[in-house]
Structure 1
């Protein structure tokens, strides 16, 4: 890391907790602020100026989210305001606060057809879910992502263009819909236990053949826990 960001001079503004936390996280990960600026699509001096000169005064929302996801921390540690609350009022019901979780939408497709290459990329958008609903489902927002289905091999369960919510939490594998990496391709398929040491990789569309592969050849990215799409 560039040692110039490690100390302050008399001309520098006091380092607030968000800036200090960013410097600490970068040091722990062993990544420079200039490299992190590049991750955000900014010029190399962007985060150095943010830390040392207080310019910008605060990180833009998308930049803050990208950094929080990169480091695996809550956005509040990088200066996010308290979680948004809204008042919901039903007929004859008292007003109550509802919290929300913005889940990243990743710019890659889990193929339900011939397959697409998996890439590690930054999110391009967010899809908002009720925090209460996620907790009821036993889901942690930090372990979730939304991706788009490509192809027709999972019809009628999943159609081309559907959005799926993928839970990457480490859990014992059980039968159901999963996003997997198989032969360096990202797929969404139904998994079932096969013969000893194998998994059945199933397309719901009967026009596509079933496969049986060694379990060690199937990298399970996460379980599909929700779907949405246009009517």
Structure 2
């Protein structure tokens, strides 16, 4: 009898695949969120390598999707006391943890990102996100660097970007131009071209071909000191 090839898309692997499809987040983008190579989660799901997600990766993915870690292969919840189980379920149901990435998007002439690994998270009410039209959004937080977007965005502000693939519309976006990450107001400038606009009039507009710029995500919220 011929043995059928073993499938790894079951248990935590199947749940991760299901969550990524529900959120509209590619496995490659989720791998990059973890600071891994783009094929990391694809290999985990399809080839069973690694056999189990590392604790830090599992925790970050659970926070991103707003689910309990055991759904992605964490410890058996029956080993925990009932209070901890209730607390965890309440947190995952009512709150969404948005990863804070250790990079800055330049609001000046441009800066090279050093890392895209999360070092912390913001916690938002799931209800509040829905009220803002952000239910199901693929969110991450980064820091603004420079003054070209003042007074709208100031140096040191933290912004939420929605990285979901979606049709382009004019607005404030984080973009990658070559190796440079920037936050600019982006507008269409004719067929196949975009204009990168600054709020600070000391910075002139920059016009680029569509293939020269990658739109990483739309800026949907900002926070900063008064």
TM-score, normalization by structure 2? 0.67
Partner residue in 1 for 2:190? 195
Cα 1:32–1:18 shift into 2, 3 Å:
closer
Q: How does 1:130-145 map to 2 (within 5 A)?
A: 130-140=125-135, 143-145=138-140
Cα 1:211–1:26 shift into 2, 3 Å:
same
Q: Among 154, 157, 160, which residue is 1:159 paired with?
A: 154
Q: Among 139, 143, 148, which residue is 2:143 paired with?
A: 148
The CA distance in 2 between the partners of 1:32 and 1:221, in whole Å, is 28
Task: Report if the CA contact (8 A) 1:66-1:122 is conserved.
Answer: no
When the two chains are superposed, the root-mean-square deviation of aligned CA atoms in Å is 3.3
Per-residue CA distance 1:172-229 (angstroms, 9 max, x = gap)? 1111100000121100000111122111100110111111111121100000000000
Partner residue in 1 for 2:171? 176
Using CA pairs below 8 Å that are at least 6 residues apart, which structure has the higher relative contact order? 2
Q: Which structure would you say has the larger Rg? A: 1
Partner residue in 2 for 1:84? 90
- Consecutive unaligned residues in structure 1, runs of 5 or more: 1-5, 7-16, 38-58, 87-97
The CA distance in 2 between the partners of 1:167 and 1:229, in whole Å, is 18
Task: Report if the CA contact (8 A) 1:102-1:126 is conserved.
Answer: yes
Partner residue in 1 for 2:27? none
Q: Among 201, 211, 223, which residue is 1:216 paired with?
A: 211
Q: How does 1:58-97 map to 2 (within 5 A)?
A: 59=55, 62-66=56-60, 68=62, 74-76=67-69, 77-78=71-72, 79=74, 82-85=88-91
TM-score, normalization by structure 1? 0.66
- Consecutive unaligned residues in structure 2, runs of 5 or more: 1-5, 17-41, 76-84
Cα 1:33–1:114 shift into 2, 3 Å:
farther
| Other structure's SS at 1:117 match | coil
The CA distance in 2 between the partners of 1:107 and 1:154, in whole Å, is 20
The CA distance in 1 between the partners of 2:13 and 2:206, in whole Å, is 51
1:20 deviation in Å?
10
Partner residue in 1 for 2:22? none
Name the structure where helix makes up a greater proportion of residues.
2
| Other structure's SS at 2:44 match | helix
Task: Report if the CA contact (8 A) 2:102-2:115 is conserved.
Answer: no
Task: Report if the CA contact (8 A) 1:110-1:188 is conserved.
Answer: yes
1:124 deviation in Å?
0.2
1:26 deviation in Å?
2.5
Cα 1:171–1:29 shift into 2, 3 Å:
farther
